[in-house]
Structure 1
Amino acid sequence: MAEGVRRRVWLYPTAFVAIAAFLVVLRLLPLGLRAGAWPGPDLLLCLILAWVIRRPDYLPAPLLAVVLLLEDLLLMRPPGLWAALVLVATEFLRSRAALTRELSFPVEWLLVSGVMLALRFAERTIAALALLPQPALGEHLLQTAMTILCYPLIVGCCWLLLDLRKPATGELDAFGRRM
């Protein structure tokens, strides 16, 4: 039984890194057919937030920071800005794990939507203060709306494919502590 718990401790972070690598490579591919097309959703952000709300113990903060910093570098964004903001947002959600366990899905979706909007406006504010070039506000808001709409799909995929569920009341983590 202990081997199953130890395997899960390594299996889920490895699966996260593999999925994140796939999503970053997918964003790097030139799939847009025409200029001015609608921006696609940030599926990695959906995955991260769904993962942290469901099983925060399976996604350690240092791993998340490294993955997001590499994404910043590969997508040629300001290094560390998005990574730091998402890390703060995930720690905000992680600190409310007991509360989010009891939320129904529509309320969880509303909470995650608020976090996504706060992330986008914080990123735009910091980029404006640093005088960094940034896309139009409408484009950012459209991408955030698409990301919010894709969140239930990502949660469903996590639930069906990865068996990533919210912990039950009284469930123990890999170290024998109550969650």
Structure 2
Amino acid sequence: MAEGIRRRVWLYPTVFVGIAGFLVMLRLLPLGFEAGAWPGPDLLLCLILAWVMRRPDYLPALLLALVLLLEDLLLMRPPGLWAALVLIATEFLRTRAALTRELSFPVEWMLVSGIMLALRFAERMVAALAFLPQPALGQHLQQTATTILCYPLIVGCCWLLLDLRKPATGELDAFGRRM
């Protein structure tokens, strides 16, 4: 029984890195969308927030920071800005894991939607303060809207394919601590 718990401690971060690598490579592909089309959702952000809402112990902060920093570098965004903002948001959710465990899905969706909007506006504010070029506000809001709409699909995929569920009351983590 302990072997299964130890295996999950290494299995889930490895699966996360694989999925994140796939999603970043998918964003780098030239898929031929014409200019002015709706921007696609940030599926990696959906995955990260769904993962942290369900099992924050399976996604270490250092791993998350490294993956997001690599994404920043590959997508030619300001290095570390998006990584730092998402890391702050996930740590906000981690500290409230006991409270968010009892939330119904619509309330969780609203909480995550608020976090996504706050992330987007914080990114725009920091970029504006640093005089960095940024896309139009409408494009950022469209991308955030599509990301919010994709969140239930990502949660469903995590639940069905990866068996990522919120921990039950009294469940123990890999170190024998109550979650």
Smaller-chain TM-score bracket: over 0.9
Q: How far is the alpha carbon of 1:35 from its aligned partner? A: 1.5
Q: How far is the alpha carbon of 1:34 from its aligned partner? A: 1.4
Per the alignment, residue 89 of structure 2 pairs with 89
What's the CA shift string for 1:91-148, capped at 9, x where partnerless?
0000000011000000000000000000000000000000000000000000000000
The residue type equivalent to 1:110 in the other structure is M
Percentage of pairs with the same residue: 89
Alignment partner of 1:75 is 2:75: yes
Q: How far is the alpha carbon of 1:33 from its aligned partner? A: 3.0
Q: Distance in 2 between matches of 1:109 and 1:46?
A: 11
Per the alignment, residue 52 of structure 1 pairs with 52
Provide the aligned C-alpha RMSD in A: 0.4
SS in structure 1 of the partner of residue 36 of structure 2: coil
Q: How far is the alpha carbon of 1:52 from its aligned partner? A: 0.2
Q: Distance in 1 between matches of 2:100 and 2:36?
A: 38
Q: How far is the alpha carbon of 1:32 from its aligned partner? A: 2.9
Alignment of 1:111-150 (within 5 A): 111-150=111-150
Matched pairs, number = 179
**Structure 1 unaligned regions, length at least 5:** none
Per the alignment, residue 164 of structure 2 pairs with 164
TM-score (normalizing by structure 2): 0.99
The residue type equivalent to 1:58 in the other structure is Y
Per the alignment, residue 42 of structure 1 pairs with 42
Q: Distance in 1 between matches of 2:35 and 2:80?
A: 28
Per the alignment, residue 3 of structure 1 pairs with 3
SS in structure 1 of the partner of residue 90 of structure 2: helix
TM-score (normalizing by structure 1): 0.99
Q: Distance in 1 between matches of 2:33 and 2:57?
A: 40
